Amino acid sequence: MRQIHPPRELFDFARVLEEGGKKCYLVGGAVRDYLLGREVSDFDVATDARPEEVVRLYRRVIPTGIKHGTVTVLWKGLEIEATTFRTESSYADGRHPDAVAFAATIEEDLSRRDFTINAMAFDLSERRLLDPRGGREDLGLSLVRAVGDPLERFGEDGLRPLRAIRFAAQLGFEVEAATLAAIGPSIEVFRLVSAERVREEFLKIALSDRPSRGLRLLEATGLLSEISPELAACRGVEQRGMHVFDVLDHLYACVDAAPPDPVLRLAALFHDVGKPAAKVERPGEAPTFYRHEEYSAKDAETILRRLRFPNALIDEVAHLIRCHMFSYDDSWSDAAVRRFVARVGPDRIESLFALRIADGTGIIGRPVDPRSLQSLRERIDAVLAAKEAFGLGDLAVKGADLASIAVPPGPKMGMMLKELLEAVIDDPALNERSRLLEIAERLKPKYGL
């Protein structure tokens, strides 16, 4: 086990509390991650000082969660979350979910924490580890074990079952048997948890080294059907052809193979989620999944909206999914390459290629050679280098130019500009003001102008 070695600034921070007669412990993820030799990025401290006292002791304090006893102190370049010792009773009293009960001792505070590996504290004045729940031992055994009775603890907060799986996925740990067994029976409490809290944990699973580990645990415990029945419905949907996996194992393999970026991981995970709906059986032959990218993009939007992901991220994910079914060969004309770039968007080509490599890996079950996209990439570089038009902003006419030939601003003008852009993508030589206005003049009758 590694040493706990917080930065000197954190000890300075603790000294201010000590001089005020208060205790200060480093707690939670930082202690765990130091012991594991993992990177530590945020510092949570527990103290017997009340939030008002912390506010008084430091100059720069943000009242982040003062209701829950938490404030953020900006201190010598660190952002330190300071939380007053708490007990579990805030959860137990269902009628006052926002009420906080402060605790007198660090031991009491540690006993309300979720897992033994998260229930250690490092005394910043005595430089001593407090580990009343055997967290170090469980770190050594690579186990996520609930503090106390798992069923009871999950009953207090339905997010904990998902957190157990999140930590197992992130750390490459197993969930201890009794803790794992308590997940299924806790599903009703899990249903009460807000979508935002579920999203944060789910995203951490998706961004872990091997998301499929976490996803398989979610599936086995019944949580996957709760979070995304659409995904769970991909189990057993066979595809044959070149595929070695059913749809769900394919998606697991793809998400593992995708770079650890939220958009790419989520796009990889959901890029075929619409296949069950798109599937058409053919006797004696492999089934077809026509337009499954469209079904999948719609499903991904529904799922990610339900989980309250930001709209901008949802749009990116859905766009990549809609575009993922291209099949390039050297017979593509330059116009076809330009249409492809225009549809995908010049800035999104690299993401789409990353998704495509992950997809290929999930089809054959082993890494795909990224050079397989090399010739398309070269063709794209060539059309991009020619600085041709791919978006309305690149067009040699703007709305005002069309208005000058009596096209009124509005939906018709928008459609006409799009039609002009398509013409330019097919033939870049048309991208001159006079030629485009000529074409627009000819298009007017079609738009009833």
From the list ligand ATP, Mg ion, none, pick the one residue 443 interacts with, judged by a Cβ distance below 5 to 8 Å according to partner type.
none
How far is Cα 262 from Cα 314, in angstroms, rounded to an integer?
A: 10
Binding segment (CB under 5 A) for Mg ion, from list 28-36, 200-208, 276-284, 331-339: 28-36
From the list Mg ion, ligand ATP, none, pick the one residue 160 interacts with, judged by a Cβ distance below 5 to 8 Å according to partner type.
ligand ATP
Instruction: Give 302: exposed, middle or buried? Use CB within 10 Å, 0-12, 13-18, 19+.
Output: middle
Cβ 31 to Mg ion shortest distance, Å: 11
Cβ 26 to ligand ATP shortest distance, Å: 11
* Residue 160 sits in the site that holds ligand ATP (CB under 6 A): yes
* Residue 119 sits in the site that holds Mg ion (CB under 5 A): no
From the list Mg ion, ligand ATP, none, pick the one residue 133 interacts with, judged by a Cβ distance below 5 to 8 Å according to partner type.
none
Nearer to ligand ATP, 113 or 356 (CB): 113
* Residue 47 sits in the site that holds ligand ATP (CB under 6 A): no
* Residue 113 sits in the site that holds ligand ATP (CB under 6 A): yes
* Residue 29 sits in the site that holds Mg ion (CB under 5 A): yes
| Count of residues near ligand ATP by CB under 6 A | 10
How far is Cα 258 from Cα 351, in angstroms, rounded to an integer?
A: 10
Binding segment (CB under 6 A) for ligand ATP, from list 45-53, 157-165, 268-276, 383-391: 157-165
The C-alpha angle with vertex 83 and arms to 81 and 84, in degrees rounded to 5, equals: 155
From the list ligand ATP, Mg ion, none, pick the one residue 316 interacts with, judged by a Cβ distance below 5 to 8 Å according to partner type.
none
Identify the bridge partners of residue 233 per DSSP, sorted by sequence position. Answer: none
From the list ligand ATP, Mg ion, none, pick the one residue 107 interacts with, judged by a Cβ distance below 5 to 8 Å according to partner type.
none
Among 48, 131, 138, 157, binds ligand ATP (CB under 6 A): 157
Binding segment (CB under 5 A) for Mg ion, from list 26-34, 154-162, 295-303, 353-361: 26-34
How far is Cα 313 from Cα 331, in angstroms, rounded to an integer?
A: 34
Cβ 46 to Mg ion shortest distance, Å: 13
Nearer to Mg ion, 29 or 135 (CB): 29
Identify the bridge partners of residue 282 per DSSP, sorted by sequence position. Answer: 285
Here the tokens at position 245 are 């996996």
Cβ 212 to ligand ATP shortest distance, Å: 19
Cβ 37 to ligand ATP shortest distance, Å: 14
Cβ 305 to ligand ATP shortest distance, Å: 24
- List Cβ<8 Å contacts ≥24 apart for 221-226: 221/161, 221/165, 221/180, 221/183, 221/184, 222/183, 222/184, 222/187, 223/161, 223/162, 223/165, 223/183, 223/187, 223/190, 226/187, 226/190, 226/191
Residue nearest to Mg ion (CB): 29
Here the tokens at position 24 are 């200060």
DSSP state at residue 102: B
* Nearest C-alpha neighbor of 158 from the set 97, 96, 231: 97
Nearer to Mg ion, 29 or 276 (CB): 29
How far is Cα 289 from Cα 295, in angstroms, rounded to an integer?
A: 10
* Residue 431 sits in the site that holds ligand ATP (CB under 6 A): no
How far is Cα 400 from Cα 272, in angstroms, rounded to an integer?
A: 42
From the list Mg ion, ligand ATP, none, pick the one residue 159 interacts with, judged by a Cβ distance below 5 to 8 Å according to partner type.
ligand ATP
* Residue 86 sits in the site that holds ligand ATP (CB under 6 A): no
Cβ 161 to ligand ATP shortest distance, Å: 10
How far is Cα 152 from Cα 91, in angstroms, rounded to an integer?
A: 12
* Residue 114 sits in the site that holds Mg ion (CB under 5 A): no
SS3 at position 78? strand
Q: Which residues of 116-138 are buried (b: 16+ CB within 10 A; e: fewer)?
A: bbbbbbbebeeeebbbebbbbeb
- List Cβ<8 Å contacts ≥24 apart for 342-345: 342/390, 342/391, 342/421, 342/425, 345/319, 345/390, 345/391
How far is Cα 218 from Cα 184, in angstroms, rounded to an integer?
A: 10
Nearer to ligand ATP, 28 or 51 (CB): 28
Nearer to ligand ATP, 203 or 278 (CB): 203
Helices 160-171 + 195-206 axis angle, to 10: 10
Q: Which of residues 13-32 bind ligand ATP (CB under 6 A)?
A: 28-29
- Binding-site ranges for Mg ion (CB under 5 A): 29
- Binding-site ranges for ligand ATP (CB under 6 A): 28-29, 44, 113-114, 118-119, 157, 159-160
